[in-house]
Amino acid sequence: MEVIVSRLRSLIRNSYSPYSGFRVASLVVDENGNMYGGVNIENSSYGLTMCAERVAVFNAIASGARRIRRVYIGTEVSPPAPPCGACLQVISEFGDADTEIILVSLKTGETIKYKLEDLLPVRFHGSYIGGVD
Ligand code: THU
């Protein structure tokens, strides 16, 4: 966990959050144990802001990953902040009920561990529209 906390601490420095001042860093671990990072990227047109978790997931998928085993989310508040609903849905596309969502406070070092099914118990997925399971 110390390695993760230190990676999140260096990654969060890349957060582009001049409007909210709320910095977020995320690390996604794929089925092969490879790790991909993301930070929140805000926009002067506020609604175009992208969360750190989605940047990390998209980075993973664009790099060739397909399944997500674990997502770390680092914030500088205590208790550590959870992902928003939009990010949970995006994680769900490439994860499953057991995908781990681990919240990390970079202020106190406190961690809270969930499974995706804890945070998004009923999920919309591709099988409803005749796509992937
Ligand atoms: N944010 C994230 O990066 N992840 C979340 O799950 C929730 C919110 C960012 C978006 C915005 O840049 C800032 O936090 C305040 O909402």
Instruction: Output the six-digit token pair for 120.
Output: 């998004």
* Spatial separation of the C-alpha atoms in residues 48 and 65, rounded to whole Å: 25
Q: Which atom of ligand 1 is nearest to the CA of 52?
A: 3
Question: Nearest CA to 58 among 86, 109, 94, 21?
Answer: 94
**DSSP secondary structure, 46-81, as one string:** GGG-B-HHHHHHHHHHHTT---EEEEEEEESSSSPP
Structure confidence at residue 133 (pLDDT): 66
- The preferred substitution site among 43, 51, 106 for testing ligand 1, maximizing ligand atoms within 8 Å of CB, is 51
- Tokens 């992902």 locate to 83
Mean pLDDT for each consecutive 10-residue tract of the chain (133 residues)?
A: 96 98 98 98 98 98 98 98 98 98 98 98 94 71
| DSSP state at residue 89 | H
pTM above 0.75, yes or no: yes
- The preferred substitution site among 19, 23, 40 for testing ligand 1, maximizing ligand atoms within 8 Å of CB, is 40
Residue nearest to atom 3 of ligand 1 (CA): 51
Give the up-direction half-sphere exposure of residue 37: CA atoms within 13 A in the CB hemisphere: 16
* Spatial separation of the C-alpha atoms in residues 90 and 99, rounded to whole Å: 12
Domain ranges of the chain: 2-129
- The angle at the Cα of 95, spanning 65 to 100, to the nearest 5 degrees, equals 110
Structure confidence at residue 35 (pLDDT): 98
Structure confidence at residue 131 (pLDDT): 75
Question: Nearest CA to 71 among 26, 24, 131, 16?
Answer: 26
Residue nearest to atom 10 of ligand 1 (CA): 51
Kindly report the CATH class assigned to 2-129: alpha beta
* Spatial separation of the C-alpha atoms in residues 129 and 111, rounded to whole Å: 36
